[in-house]
Amino acid sequence: MRRDDPLRQQIAERLSGWDWRGPQPAAGATPPKLAAVALVIVDAGHGAGREGVESSTEADAAAGIGRPEGAVDTRGLPHFAHWSADAALLLTRRAASLRGHAGQWALPGGRLDKGETPEAAALRELAEELGLLLSPADVLGRLDCFVTRSGYAITPVIAWGGEARALRPNPAEVAGVHRIPLTEFLRADAPILEPLAGSPHPVLKMPVGDSWIAAPTAALLYQFREVCLLGRDTRVAHFEQPTFAWR
**pLDDT for 176:** 85
Q: Mind listing the pLDDT tens digit for each residue in 85-131?
A: 999 999 998 665 545 544 578 999 999 999 999 999 999 999 999 99
**pLDDT for 52:** 52
Cβ burial 200-219 (10 Å sphere, 16+ → b, else e): eebbbbbbbeebbbbbbbbb
> Given phi > 0 = left and psi -120 to 50 = alpha, else beta, which region is 187?
beta
1 or 176: which leads in pLDDT: 1
Q: How far is the C-alpha of 138 from the C-alpha of 183, rounded, in Å?
A: 22
Q: Mind listing the pLDDT tens digit for each residue in 210-244?
A: 989 999 999 999 999 999 999 999 999 999 998 87
Dihedral of the CA atoms 75, 72, 87, 148 (nearest 10)?
A: 140
Q: What is the pLDDT averaged over residues 149-158? A: 94
How many residues does the structure list for the chain?
A: 247
How does DSSP assign 134-189, residue by residue?
--GGGEEEE---EE-TTSEEEEEEEEEEET-------TTTEEEEEEEEGGGGG-TT
Q: Mind listing the pLDDT tens digit for each residue in 37-83?
A: 999 999 999 998 766 554 444 444 444 434 445 556 778 898 899 99
